[in-house]
């Protein structure tokens, strides 16, 4: 047997308490070294210690130095944290997602107990600071499972409604949840946060954004997460209904109101949405003649069917959406100012796809799976250069345009693999000149890797800086001061890099 160093053997504590103390110290040091950051709070929720790794997040949190962090209450320093809950319950939260102005993080929160077993503080650990990249396979798998669960629930609800009287109205249910709004980028996380908060209220919600961004999907999700989820979800696309029929569509028709009207009358969408949610899509296209009646209905909570003198009460939460500039329509006199303020209680701006480019790989995967299920075929596989090309496009039609391109490519391709040349050809045929590809964060082939590192170091560093600055500007909506803080550089340095990227 080889000799073992005596000093190393005798240095180990032999008693149980000593081993426990050594293990605790070793685990603490291990977490501190392998994590992206770690800090401690006392029983009052005051930050008492932070390691060096965590300090790189401070500028993005709006803190100039570690002195602005240590000694402050954890809620004041870290927006959105749930560390206080761990202090109150004494229960650890081993895996959670935290989103604030510094980004999205995978975190753990662990209570610390004294010798008497009482909570004396807590430890916060940041494991990943780019979950959209690091945990992409896990997040995609979870999203797929959530969609399958949603499909099963909808099927059960449909079968249940068919077995009951009045099955037609019973099928007016939300089709989507927040899990259906794919993406983990900061812009996506923020719009989901706002929408979840809106779901807890009964006030009107106004969804603003370009066409194809997913406003209707969010309306479904808000209803599904609200206390009205058991009630109907009724949708009206104002732009798709002739002006002459809108009033009857909204408020209903009394029996025999006009020649050809049904003898029993017909309920309008407000009445059908009673107890649930009424989604008014393309509210900016509503004719001026109907805006005053809509305002009165929202204010009074009652409607007057066409051809009737009787007021009918209703209880429906209104979610409106538009791709038009409502304030500009108000200035032009095309939209009533009082109606605008009635709807503009909980406004949510749904970001265009070009502001959440990091979500494109996950969106492509989901869209390709959906196309494959509809066509009964295997999903197409996009090569790295194809994903890079998609990530660089402006997407004026947003997700709807992306889906159209993928569907055309899948139907016209001779193989399961799609490359950048095929997609660029489709874009040109649609009258769109493809923009330069945006390199995604994905592994390269060994040959490409060697070519990458054979280039001059200054060129490689400049490319890394350009990507980091572009990502920061995208995440902060073009705000250069916030971007500079997130990157840990001065605003002057950021302007210097923008003006002289090489």
Cβ 336 vs Cβ 236: under 8 Å: no
Confidence at residue 470, expressed as pLDDT on a 0 to 100 scale: 74
DSSP 480: H
Q: Enumerate the domain spans of the chain.
A: 6-129, 172-351, 354-429, 446-499
Confidence at residue 131, expressed as pLDDT on a 0 to 100 scale: 62
Q: Measured between alpha carbons, how far is residue 57 from residues 40, 126, 250, 456 in Å?
A: 15, 11, 51, 30
CA 124 to chain centre: 24
Say how many CA atoms lie within 13 Å of 229 toward its Cβ: 14
d(CA 296, CA 318): 13
Beta strand pairing call for 317-322 and 277-281:
parallel
Continuous H helices in 185-227: 186-199, 215-224
Continuous H helices in 55-162: 74-77, 83-89, 131-134, 136-162
Confidence at residue 5, expressed as pLDDT on a 0 to 100 scale: 40
Angle, helices 384-391 vs 420-429, to 10°: value is 40
Count other Cβ atoms within 10 Å, centred on residue 387: 22
Q: pLDDT below 70 — which residues of the chain? A: 1-14, 16, 130-171, 256-265, 439-464, 476-478, 492, 495-502
Residue that has been written with the tokens 């007057």 in this structure: 304
Confidence at residue 142, expressed as pLDDT on a 0 to 100 scale: 63
Rounded to 10 degrees, the C-alpha dihedral 150/109/71/65 comes to -70
d(CA 8, CA 440): 49
Structure confidence by residue, pLDDT tens digits, 408-433: 988 888 787 888 888 998 888 888 88
d(CA 61, CA 72): 13
Cβ 41 vs Cβ 74: under 8 Å: yes
Cβ 202 vs Cβ 304: under 8 Å: no
Cβ 408 vs Cβ 426: under 8 Å: yes
Confidence at residue 443, expressed as pLDDT on a 0 to 100 scale: 36
Cβ 359 vs Cβ 308: under 8 Å: no
Confidence at residue 257, expressed as pLDDT on a 0 to 100 scale: 55
Angle, helices 384-391 vs 360-375, to 10°: value is 110
Cβ 263 vs Cβ 256: under 8 Å: yes
Cβ 405 vs Cβ 391: under 8 Å: no
Residue 214: name the closest of 331, 3, 90, 363 by CA.
363
Backbone angles phi, psi at 62, to 5 degrees: 80, 20
Q: Where are the beta strands (DSSP E) in 22-76?
A: 37-42, 47-50
- Structurally, at CATH architecture level, domain 172-351 sits in 3-Layer(aba) Sandwich (3.40)
d(CA 345, CA 343): 6
Query: Which residues are CB-neighbours of 120 under 8 A, at least 6 positions away?
Result: 42, 43, 112, 113, 114
d(CA 130, CA 104): 7
Beta strand pairing call for 93-100 and 205-208:
unpaired
d(CA 332, CA 325): 11
Count other Cβ atoms within 10 Å, centred on residue 235: 20
Class of domain 446-499: mainly alpha
Query: Which residues are CB-neighbours of 37 under 8 A, at least 6 positions away?
Result: 50, 51, 53, 54, 55, 56, 57, 125, 126, 129
CA 382 to chain centre: 23
Q: Provide the edge-to-edge strand list for the sheet that holds 103-113.
A: 47-50, 37-42, 119-128, 103-113, 93-100
CA 449 to chain centre: 33
d(CA 426, CA 171): 38
Confidence at residue 19, expressed as pLDDT on a 0 to 100 scale: 77
- Structurally, at CATH architecture level, domain 354-429 sits in Orthogonal Bundle (1.10)
Confidence at residue 308, expressed as pLDDT on a 0 to 100 scale: 77
Determine the topology of domain 6-129 in CATH. Beta-Lactamase (3.30.450)
Produce one character per residue of 430-443: b if its CB has 16 or more CB atoms within 10 Å, e if not: eebebeebbebeee
């Amino acid at each position: 047997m080889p000799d073992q160093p005596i000093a190393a053997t005798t240095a180990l504590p032999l008693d149980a308490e000593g081993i426990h103390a050594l293990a605790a110290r070793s685990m603490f040091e291990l977490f501190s070294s392998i994590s992206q950051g770690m800090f401690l709070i006392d029983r009052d929720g005051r930050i008492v210690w932070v390691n060096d790794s965590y300090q790189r997040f401070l500028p993005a949190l709006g803190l100039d130095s570690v002195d602005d962090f240590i000694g402050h209450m954890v809620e004041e320093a870290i927006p959105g944290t749930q560390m206080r809950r761990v202090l109150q319950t004494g229960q650890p939260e081993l895996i959670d997602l935290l989103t604030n102005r510094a980004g999205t993080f995978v975190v753990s929160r662990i209570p610390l107990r004294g010798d008497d077993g009482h909570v004396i503080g807590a430890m916060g650990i940041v494991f990943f600071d780019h979950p959209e990249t690091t945990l992409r396979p896990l997040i995609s798998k979870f999203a797929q499972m959530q969609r399958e669960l949603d499909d099963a629930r909808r099927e059960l609800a449909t079968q249940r409604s068919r077995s009951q009287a009045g099955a037609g109205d019973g099928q007016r249910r939300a089709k989507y949840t927040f899990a259906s709004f794919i993406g983990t980028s900061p812009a996506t996380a923020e719009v989901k946060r706002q929408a979840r908060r809106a779901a807890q209220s009964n006030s009107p919600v106004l969804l603003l954004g370009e066409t194809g961004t997913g406003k209707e999907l969010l309306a479904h999700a808000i209803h599904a997460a609200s206390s009205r989820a058991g009630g109907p979800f009724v949708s009206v696309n104002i732009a798709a209904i002739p002006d002459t029929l809108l009033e009857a569509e909204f408020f209903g028709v009394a029996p025999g109101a006009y020649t050809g009207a049904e003898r029993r009358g017909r309920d309008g969408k407000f009445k059908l949405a009673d107890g649930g949610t009424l989604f008014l899509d393309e509210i900016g296209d509503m004719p001026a003649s109907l805006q005053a009646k809509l305002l009165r209905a929202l204010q009074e909570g009652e409607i007057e069917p066409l051809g009737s003198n009787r007021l009918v009460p209703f209880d429906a939460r209104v979610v409106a959406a538009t791709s038009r500039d409502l304030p500009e329509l108000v200035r032009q006199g095309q939209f009533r100012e009082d109606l605008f303020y009635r709807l503009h209680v909980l406004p949510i701006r749904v970001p265009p796809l070009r502001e959440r480019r990091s979500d494109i790989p996950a969106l492509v995967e989901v869209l390709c799976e959906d196309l494959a299920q509809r066509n009964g075929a295997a999903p197409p596989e996009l090569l790295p250069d194809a994903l890079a090309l998609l990530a660089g496009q402006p997407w004026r039609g947003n997700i709807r345009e992306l889906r159209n391109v993928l569907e055309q490519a899948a139907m016209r391709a001779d193989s399961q693999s799609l490359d950048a040349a095929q997609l660029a050809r489709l874009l040109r045929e649609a009258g769109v000149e493809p923009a330069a590809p945006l390199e995604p964060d994905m592994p390269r082939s060994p040959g490409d890797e060697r070519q990458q590192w054979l280039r001059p170091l200054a060129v490689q560093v400049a490319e890394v800086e350009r990507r980091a600055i572009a990502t920061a500007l995208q995440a902060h909506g073009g705000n250069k001061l916030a971007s500079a803080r997130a990157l840990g550089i001065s605003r002057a340095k950021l302007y210097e890099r923008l003006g002289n990227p090489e």
